[in-house]
Amino acid sequence: MITLEWIGFLLCLPLPWLIRRFLPAAARDTDAALNTPFLAELEPLTAQASVEKPQRSPPILAVLAWLVLVVAAARPVWLGEPVEQGVSGRDLMLAVDLSGSMEMEDFVVADQVVNRLVATRQVAGRFIERRYGDRIGLILFGEKAYLQAPLTFDRTTVKTLLDEAVIGLAGDKTAIGDAIGLAIKRLRDNPADQRVLILLTDGANTAGEIPPLQAAELAAREGLRIHTIGVGADEWVVRNFFGQRKINPSRDLDESTMRAIAAKTGGHYFRARDTAELEQIYSLLDELEPVERATRLYRPRTELYVWPLGLALLLAGVLIATGVARQ
CATH class given for the domain over 85-285: alpha beta
Tens-digit pLDDT profile for residues 216-266: 999 999 889 999 998 887 765 566 655 566 656 667 788 899 999 999 999
Tell which residue, 277, 285, 293, 323, has the closest CA to residue 128: 285
Sign of CA dihedral 247, 115, 203, 266: negative
Quick: pLDDT tens for 85-97.
555 567 889 999 9
Amino acid at 237: V
Q: How would residue 300 be classed by pLDDT, with cut points 50, 70 and 90?
A: confident
Contacts of 80 (CB under 8 A, 6+ apart): 299, 300, 301, 302
Q: How far apart are alpha carbons 131 and 113 in whole angstroms? A: 28
Lowest mean pLDDT among 104-113, 152-161, 172-181, 310-319: 104-113
Partnered with residue 154 across adjacent β-strands are none
Domain extent listing, the chain:
2-22+36-81+299-326, 85-285
In angstroms, the CA 14 to CA 11 distance is 7
